[in-house]
Structure 1
């Protein structure tokens, strides 16, 4: 698109103006050129910042509102890769998480969520298989408590990747304001644990402690969760 081409040109001019050119005159000319292009095409700095961000969408595993532990997992992954996330729900499609960030961060956050979610689902399923003679509601509550316990252990490991540079945060905010201006905050429900649920939470925490998150080659964040040895 023509607008994308112009935005790319403006971004290059701004990069040169910020010091990528060793010649002060060239930096000043680049800044003037960026302002001129913005004026000609009726663009604001918010448009330029928003063009630096993008999004990646992953299924939230629910036809309606995803449970609190899935939302929490999405938040952990979003923070780890310096992204923002929103919950997308509608009557005609399954719920999904949308990760918003710069460069490859949204895809990495989405991939991390999918990998971690599979591991957590398996651990939760294995634990529930040990729960006999329970009502469905009791089983669901214990499964959710287990999941939160698992996340209590894993979140500290994932958070080691966290850190957002100011200009990235500004780009994400500009993207959100441009594409999702009417979005409201989501409330995460987490019920008070009963005695049996606390047992499930402790079991989840022990299982989560055995999870390991590794960096890839060159210290690039790669979402690969493996079961370690306790």
Structure 2
């Protein structure tokens, strides 16, 4: 049985240990203590059981220096859901870290919004004249994406991470990910037509939607080198 399943079993036993039925509560507590010993957990580790990582494909970029619109979308999701995030460029994975339920929703939300943005950026890019330099077309598409994220961000409210939860997240990252670098990001090029491109993105970003059912994702293995996502 995997550690994740054992942790889930421990959560259920701890919940049962608070049962109003004394016999049931005592038995659950005894089994919980046995499982804690098996997993090598102490009382300080129990609070960390509610902190998990929801690992999802980065989708928009696997660069070590993220485009500003990608960093902005990631930060929008973490601010909205009240979680933290770590990025693994080598695997092209994002790890949304926090309360289990919030981390899962953050992973889902990012996937939905990133696919919307990727599709609309590609549509905008295809609409650019082939007579333009490729760098100009890419620059405009990046400006479009920055405008899209700016508009989408204005539609949501930030959810602060409680201080205790924030401290637990830091402990979890230290135990599971070690030292982290800060991930840099780059702005879109200031190409000709950038203002119109940004404005088109801003208009389309106002139509962004997040209205599908939540679906979990598989966890990444062999994290490799990971990075914090800086504020955008």
State whether TM-score is above 0.5. yes
Partner of 1:154: 152
How large is the Cα RMSD of the aligned pairs? 3.5
Greater length-normalized contact order (CA 8 Å, ≥ 6 residues apart): 2
| TM-score, structure 1 as length reference | 0.69
CA drift at 1:191: 4.1
Q: CA deviation at 1:189?
A: 1.5
Partners of 1:213 and 1:42 in 2: how far apart?
Answer: 38
Q: TM-score, normalised by structure 2?
A: 0.69
Task: Tell me how many residue pairs correspond in the alignment.
Answer: 194
Q: 1:187 is matched with which residue?
A: 184
Among 32, 53, 56, the residue aligned to 1:58: 56
**2:160 and 2:8 mapped to 1: Cα distance?**
30
Identify the match of residue 160 of structure 2 among 149, 163, 178. Answer: 163
Runs of 5+ in structure 2 lacking a partner? 21-32, 216-232
Q: Provide the residue aligned with 1:78 in structure 2.
A: 78
The one-character-per-residue Cα deviations of 1:64-109 (angstroms, maximum 9, x if unpaired) are 435332222122112211111111022xxx4111111112111211
Counterpart pick for 2:203 among 200, 203, 206: 206
Structure 1 runs, 4 residues or longer, greater than 6 Å off: 9-12
Shift of 1:162: 2.2
- What is the Cα deviation at residue 134 of structure 1? 1.6
Deviations 1:125-168 (A, max 9, x none): 2222221022221111111110000000001223x252322332
- Name the one with the larger helix percent: 1
- Give the Cα–Cα distance (whole angstroms) in 1 for the partners of residues 114 and 192 of structure 2: 26
Deviation at 1:5, TM superposition (A): 8.6
Q: Is the contact between residue 143 and residue 189 of structure 2 (CA under 8 Å) also seen in structure 1?
A: no
Question: 2: CA distance between counterparts of 1:126 and 1:200?
Answer: 12
2:47 corresponds in structure 1 to 49
Contact 2:71 2:185 in 1 (8 A): yes
Q: Which runs of 5+ in 1 are unaligned?
A: 22-33, 217-221, 224-230
